[in-house]
Each structure stands twice: as structure tokens, then as C-alpha cells.
Amino acid sequence: MQNPAPDIPLNHTPLDTLHRELGAKIVSFAGYAMPVQYPAGVMKEHLHTRRAAGLFDVSHMGQVLLHGDADAALEALTPADISALPRDRMRYTQFTTETGGIIDDLMVTRRAPAMLQLVVNAGGKAEDLNHLSAHLTSGVEIEYLADQALLALQGPQAAAVLARYVPGIDRMPFMTGMSAPLLGAPAYITRSGYTGEDGYEISIPNENAEPVARTLLSQAEVMPIGLGARDSLRLEACMCLYGHDIDQSTTPVEANLAWSIGKRRREQGGFKGAETIRRQLADPPARLRVALLPADRTPARDGTPILDAGGAVVGTVTSGGFSPSLDRPVAMGYVPTHLAFPGTELTLSVRGKPLAAKVVRMPFVPTRYFRG
């Protein structure tokens, strides 16, 4: 095995001291020193999140507020129906390119009638901010929340735990948000996440992050979870990882994210890449992102060639690894649309060896959202 790369100067989240105290293995991720795992290890952290509750530090992600009437401007950059978004409701969407590719994927929440909150990927935030400032109309102010931490509490026990500190928050439905004091801190809490489980994302001032995290971790159900398990959890839920499953060369339709495109937006267009995206909604695109289940225990990683029955390379794995919940490898990748039906038999070429795999329905592990 290879030695780790030498250290480079990194940004630190407000929980850095806590991560080290908890014995986390720290890695460089998108310019941040982040915990990839704690002493329990990826497998236990993953299974604990599915069984009880896990606390994730996702403060490296970009939190942005748009003040003013930003609806039309944001609709020009994303295929989501923003103007129909009620207060304290949120949507998943993508910044698209002129050709329908994806610049980044993000969550949009209407925190007030004239205030939208965006949560974007750590690796994309600089580019996203440039993109926003280049395209948002005058009268919209972009505020980057450098002083806000973001914690995720995920898992079937997350609601019971958080309701001890925010009474009633267990009744808040999936994909909604609310302002609430949390242990004395002004928090904005959404019922959302990146695991497929019920859970919350909690935006709080940096100075409150550590005491809030310590209190949540003091609860018997809660364990700290690193980026390693965050990745295996989202893979089981078939959620996209930017730079792997989606990028500027993939469209939301090809990525099987058409569900996130607003009905009115499909009909009217008016967003970057609308021509390509609307055409692909009418006539299926040439390829689609699918879930793949390898037949044996060999994991197929990102970059693994996908072969058809005749042995021709027809696609590539974009995310692949081991599913702790299923105790077997799982993968996602792009295949020609005629090979995207569940049940289709394909071959993965792992280190030159053919490995049988089957297209299966997404997600690998059923989601357990609380819809009220």
C-alpha cells in the first residue's frame, strides 16, 4: 500500500479540536482538514447511522444567503421551480451550463419571503459564488455565511434526540426548515440529509458548533460519523456525488435527476441548458445513471469500465464501493439507455477481470424520510 500524501495547509472547521479529541483520522477534502473516520471505523459508523443516529460535521459545505427577490434570477440558473417554493420549504436542484451540464448540485430553502438559503458543495463553492455574482440581477445581495457551521444529525433516532432540545421538531416534515433556538444558539434546521435516512441539517454560528456537537454526542443514540461513512451511506441511497456521478459533462436528465426539474420549468424552459434538458425529457437521452449490483464480492470503483453482453465498453462506474448495509459491493454508473432497465445483465471490468453485474432499481437501501 502507498503512503499518504504530505500535508498541505488546510482550512479547519469549528469542530477541528473535537474531531482530534475524538481520535478522528483527518484527511484533506476540498481544501479542508476533515474527519474521514473515527476510531469505530467506517463500517460501524455506517451501520450505527442506519440503526440509531450519527452526527456529521459538514461545515466545509458552502452556505449562502440570497437577500432580495432572487427567484427569477435563480430560476435562470437552475431547472427548479423556485417561485412556487413556500416559506421554510426546500428543494434539491443543480446549477446548469448552457449545454445542460451540471456546475454543482445544491439545496435551496426559502427562509423568508425574500431570502433564499443555498447549500452547495465544498469543492464548488468558489465557482458557485462567481457564477451567482455574474448572473444575479441587481437588487439581490449574496451573503456567504463564513461564520456558520453545518452539522448533520442522521438516522432513525435523530428526531427523538433533537426533539429533546427543540420540542416539536420531530413533527417537522422532510424537506422543510425552521428557525429555532438550539441550546441557546440561533439555529436554522432543515429536515434533510445525504444518507437516505430521516434526519436534520443544522446551521448554527461557528462559536456554538462545538458545544452543540458535544451535547448531541452525549446522547446514547449518537455517534460521530466521518466522511467515509457519509460516502457509503449516500452511495446506498443512490445520491450523486459531484465530480463523480455528475459534472459538467452530465445533464440532470442523464443523471436520473429529472424528478428535481419543476413541471412548470419543463414546460416553459428559461434556464441555462433548457434546450438540451427539455429535448432529453421529451426523447430519452443516450445514456442514464443506473444502480449496479456486482454478482460477487469484488468492489468496482469509480472508473471501472462497464461492458455489454458482447464485451464492448458501453459505460463507466462513477461511484462504487462496499455497502455495509447489504454486506456486498454496490456501484453506480452511466450506461446506454437501452441497457438501463432493471434486470439488465452487464459486465464490469475490474483490474482486467470480467465481473458480472446487474442493473437494479435505485436506491440500494430504502429511504426512510419523515413526510408528516
Partner 1 sequence: MTRHFTKDHEWIEVANGIGTVGITDYAQHALGDVVYVELPAVGKALVQKQEAAVVESVKAASDVFSPADGAVTGVNGGLADEPARLNGDPEGEAWMFRISLAKPEQVEALMDEAAYKTFCEGLG
CB of 297 to partner 1, least distance (A): 6
Select 44 or 135, whichever has its Cβ closest to partner 1.
Answer: 44
Select 46 or 50, whichever has its Cβ closest to partner 1.
Answer: 46
Select 79 or 299, whichever has its Cβ closest to partner 1.
Answer: 299
Helix 227-236 × helix 42-51 angle, to 10°: 60
CB of 353 to partner 1, least distance (A): 9
Positions touching partner 1 (CB under 8 A) are 1-4, 25, 36-37, 41-44, 46, 228-229, 231-232, 297-299, 301, 321-322, 324, 329, 351
CB of 8 to partner 1, least distance (A): 14
CB of 245 to partner 1, least distance (A): 16
Select 83 or 316, whichever has its Cβ closest to partner 1.
Answer: 316
Select 58 or 339, whichever has its Cβ closest to partner 1.
Answer: 58
CB of 211 to partner 1, least distance (A): 29
Select 75 or 231, whichever has its Cβ closest to partner 1.
Answer: 231
CB of 356 to partner 1, least distance (A): 16
